[in-house]
Amino acid sequence: MDNVSASNRRKENRTAVDENVYVVIDTQPEMMGQMVEISSTGMAFTFVDLDSVSQRLKNRRDVRMDLFAAGKGYFIRNLPARLISNIDTPTANAISSLMIKRIGVEFEALSVSQQVQINSLIRRQNERGEANLSRG
Protein backbone atom coordinates (compact mmCIF):
# COMPACT_ATOMS: atom_id res chain seq x y z
CA MET A 1 0.00 0.00 0.00
CA ASP A 2 1.44 3.36 -0.92
CA ASN A 3 0.76 6.96 -0.06
CA VAL A 4 0.40 8.09 -3.69
CA SER A 5 -2.94 8.97 -5.27
CA ALA A 6 -4.36 6.00 -7.14
CA SER A 7 -6.28 8.11 -9.66
CA ASN A 8 -3.84 7.33 -12.48
CA ARG A 9 -4.38 3.59 -11.98
CA ARG A 10 -8.18 3.59 -11.89
CA LYS A 11 -9.95 1.49 -14.46
CA GLU A 12 -13.28 3.31 -14.02
CA ASN A 13 -14.54 6.66 -12.76
CA ARG A 14 -15.70 6.63 -9.17
CA THR A 15 -19.10 7.82 -8.02
CA ALA A 16 -19.28 10.11 -5.00
CA VAL A 17 -21.34 8.63 -2.18
CA ASP A 18 -23.74 11.06 -0.52
CA GLU A 19 -25.57 8.60 1.69
CA ASN A 20 -24.29 7.33 5.01
CA VAL A 21 -22.63 4.18 3.71
CA TYR A 22 -20.27 2.62 6.22
CA VAL A 23 -17.36 0.24 5.83
CA VAL A 24 -16.24 -2.32 8.44
CA ILE A 25 -12.77 -3.82 7.96
CA ASP A 26 -11.83 -7.26 9.31
CA THR A 27 -9.08 -6.08 11.66
CA GLN A 28 -8.99 -7.20 15.29
CA PRO A 29 -10.80 -5.35 16.73
CA GLU A 30 -12.72 -4.26 13.65
CA MET A 31 -12.36 -0.73 12.33
CA MET A 32 -15.16 1.31 10.80
CA GLY A 33 -15.17 4.18 8.34
CA GLN A 34 -17.46 6.07 5.97
CA MET A 35 -17.43 5.48 2.22
CA VAL A 36 -16.73 8.56 0.10
CA GLU A 37 -16.64 7.12 -3.44
CA ILE A 38 -17.08 3.84 -5.29
CA SER A 39 -16.79 2.16 -8.70
CA SER A 40 -17.35 -1.42 -9.76
CA THR A 41 -13.62 -2.04 -9.29
CA GLY A 42 -12.86 -0.24 -6.03
CA MET A 43 -13.75 2.38 -3.44
CA ALA A 44 -12.39 4.89 -0.95
CA PHE A 45 -13.40 5.49 2.64
CA THR A 46 -12.34 7.70 5.51
CA PHE A 47 -12.03 7.09 9.23
CA VAL A 48 -10.78 8.90 12.30
CA ASP A 49 -7.41 7.46 13.26
CA LEU A 50 -7.93 7.49 17.03
CA ASP A 51 -5.14 5.78 18.97
CA SER A 52 -3.39 4.99 15.66
CA VAL A 53 -6.05 2.46 14.66
CA SER A 54 -4.55 2.54 11.15
CA GLN A 55 -1.64 0.48 12.51
CA ARG A 56 -4.01 -2.50 12.26
CA LEU A 57 -3.62 -2.22 8.48
CA LYS A 58 0.17 -2.07 8.58
CA ASN A 59 1.82 -4.86 6.58
CA ARG A 60 -1.55 -6.02 5.25
CA ARG A 61 -2.24 -6.22 1.55
CA ASP A 62 -5.62 -7.97 1.55
CA VAL A 63 -8.69 -7.24 3.64
CA ARG A 64 -12.30 -8.34 3.91
CA MET A 65 -14.97 -5.75 4.50
CA ASP A 66 -18.68 -5.29 4.99
CA LEU A 67 -20.64 -2.33 3.60
CA PHE A 68 -23.93 -1.09 5.02
CA ALA A 69 -26.19 1.95 4.77
CA ALA A 70 -27.81 2.92 8.05
CA GLY A 71 -31.59 2.87 7.83
CA LYS A 72 -31.57 1.88 4.15
CA GLY A 73 -31.67 -1.90 4.53
CA TYR A 74 -28.49 -2.17 2.49
CA PHE A 75 -25.75 -4.63 3.45
CA ILE A 76 -22.94 -6.35 1.53
CA ARG A 77 -20.90 -8.84 3.50
CA ASN A 78 -17.35 -10.15 3.20
CA LEU A 79 -16.04 -8.22 0.18
CA PRO A 80 -12.46 -9.18 -0.70
CA ALA A 81 -10.20 -6.20 -1.45
CA ARG A 82 -6.59 -5.15 -1.83
CA LEU A 83 -5.32 -2.01 -0.09
CA ILE A 84 -3.93 0.44 -2.66
CA SER A 85 -3.62 3.81 -0.92
CA ASN A 86 -3.47 5.37 2.53
CA ILE A 87 -3.60 9.16 2.65
CA ASP A 88 -3.64 11.50 5.66
CA THR A 89 -6.38 14.13 5.31
CA PRO A 90 -6.05 17.27 7.42
CA THR A 91 -9.08 18.14 9.53
CA ALA A 92 -10.94 21.42 8.94
CA ASN A 93 -9.91 22.60 12.40
CA ALA A 94 -6.12 22.96 12.45
CA ILE A 95 -6.11 22.90 16.26
CA SER A 96 -7.78 19.48 16.36
CA SER A 97 -5.55 16.54 17.14
CA LEU A 98 -7.75 14.17 15.13
CA MET A 99 -6.18 12.56 12.08
CA ILE A 100 -8.51 11.56 9.26
CA LYS A 101 -7.23 8.77 7.00
CA ARG A 102 -8.47 8.05 3.50
CA ILE A 103 -8.03 4.46 2.36
CA GLY A 104 -8.38 3.27 -1.24
CA VAL A 105 -9.09 -0.36 -2.07
CA GLU A 106 -9.46 -2.42 -5.21
CA PHE A 107 -12.09 -5.16 -5.14
CA GLU A 108 -10.78 -8.66 -5.81
CA ALA A 109 -12.64 -11.77 -6.95
CA LEU A 110 -16.17 -10.54 -6.18
CA SER A 111 -18.98 -13.05 -6.47
CA VAL A 112 -21.72 -12.32 -9.02
CA SER A 113 -24.05 -11.41 -6.15
CA GLN A 114 -21.51 -8.94 -4.74
CA GLN A 115 -20.98 -7.40 -8.19
CA VAL A 116 -24.74 -6.92 -8.60
CA GLN A 117 -24.99 -5.31 -5.15
CA ILE A 118 -22.06 -2.94 -5.83
CA ASN A 119 -23.54 -1.92 -9.19
CA SER A 120 -26.92 -1.35 -7.51
CA LEU A 121 -25.30 0.96 -4.95
CA ILE A 122 -23.52 2.90 -7.73
CA ARG A 123 -26.74 3.21 -9.72
CA ARG A 124 -28.62 4.50 -6.63
CA GLN A 125 -25.90 7.07 -5.96
CA ASN A 126 -25.96 8.24 -9.59
CA GLU A 127 -29.76 8.55 -9.51
CA ARG A 128 -29.59 10.55 -6.28
CA GLY A 129 -26.99 12.87 -7.79
CA GLU A 130 -29.13 13.45 -10.90
CA ALA A 131 -32.19 14.15 -8.75
CA ASN A 132 -30.20 16.69 -6.69
CA LEU A 133 -28.92 18.39 -9.86
CA SER A 134 -32.44 18.70 -11.31
CA ARG A 135 -33.66 20.36 -8.08
CA GLY A 136 -30.82 22.92 -8.01
Hey, which bits of the chain come out as E strands? 15-16, 21-25, 31-38, 42-48, 62-69, 74-89, 100-107
Distance CA 42, CA 88 (A): 19
* Torsion 15-66-19-92 (CA) sign: negative
pLDDT attached to residue 131: 56
**Choice among 2-16, 22-36, 57-71, 86-100 with the minimum mean pLDDT:** 2-16
| Domain layout of the chain by residue ranges | 7-135
Whether 36 contacts 17, CB under 8 Å: yes
pLDDT above 90: residue 62: yes
Q: What is the pTM of this model?
A: 0.79
pLDDT tens profile 8-48? 455 667 888 877 899 999 888 888 999 999 999 999 999 88
- Euclidean distance between the first and the last CA atom of the chain, given in angstroms as a whole number: 39
Domain 7-135 fold: Thrombin, subunit H (2.40.10)
